[in-house]
């Protein structure tokens, strides 16, 4: 089965010793969500026409999922599914999060009562970080630091130019790197 997720690459890094220099008995955990990547787009999953040596090296030294279900075919609900462990409808996100200009009251986004894996890891003594694309809400309580992440570096919206870091979908074309 060829699973497609939409948008850009996101990294969710949990308890990364290099970032936090924390001594712990708990193992370091790195979760990579790569949007717009099919299940056969890495050599470690059978691709013969792409060169993916670094991702293949990660695959060899970690856990490689061979059966996985994307919670949704678009990015925001798929991310909500990964972070909550629920189907996107049960996580309270039915489609992509709108831009803040179209949602001035901040109602769009993953509901704050949802428990994320970051919150679960924090309760277990982990330090948490999200690096990459968020696209799960724009109000402070719906941003990564309000959803259990100690550290965030990335962009809040979808459709970002990776070189200028400007949101470019339908305007306003503003800088979106935090």
- Residue 169's pLDDT is 65
Cα–Cα distances in angstroms (integers) from residue 39 to residues 35, 56, 108, in the given order: 11, 13, 30
Tell me whether residue 159 is one of the annotated catalytic residues.
no
Among residues 135, 138, 155, 159, the one annotated as catalytic is: 135
Cα torsion 91, 130, 143, 24: sign: positive
Length of the chain, please? 178
Q: Where are the domains of the chain?
A: 9-155
Which residues of the chain register pLDDT less than 50? 1-21
Q: Are 16 and 28 in contact (CB under 8 A)?
A: yes
Tell me whether residue 75 is one of the annotated catalytic residues.
yes
Protein fold of 9-155: Alkaline Phosphatase, subunit A (3.40.720)
Q: Which two tokens stand for residue 32?
A: 């990579």
Among residues 16, 75, 138, 159, the one annotated as catalytic is: 75
Does the predicted model carry a pTM greater than 0.85?
no
């Amino acid at each position: 089965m060829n699973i497609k997720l939409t948008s850009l690459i996101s990294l969710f890094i949990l308890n990364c010793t290099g970032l936090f220099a924390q001594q712990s008995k708990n193992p370091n955990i790195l979760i990579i969500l790569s949007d717009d990547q099919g299940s056969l787009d890495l050599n470690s999953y059978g691709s013969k026409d792409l060169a993916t040596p670094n991702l293949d090296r990660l695959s060899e030294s970690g856990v490689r999922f061979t059966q996985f279900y994307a919670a949704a075919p678009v990015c925001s609900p798929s991310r909500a599914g990964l972070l909550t462990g629920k189907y996107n409808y049960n996580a309270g996100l039915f489609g992509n999060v709108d831009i803040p200009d179209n949602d001035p009251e901040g109602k769009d986004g993953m509901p704050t009562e949802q428990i994320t894996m970051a919150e679960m890891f924090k309760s277990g003594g982990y330090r948490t970080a999200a690096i990459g694309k968020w696209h799960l809400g724009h109000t402070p309580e719906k941003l990564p630091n309000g959803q259990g992440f100690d550290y965030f570096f990335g962009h809040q919206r979808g459709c970002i130019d990776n070189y200028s870091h400007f949101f470019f979908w339908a305007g306003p074309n503003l800088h979106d790197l935090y």
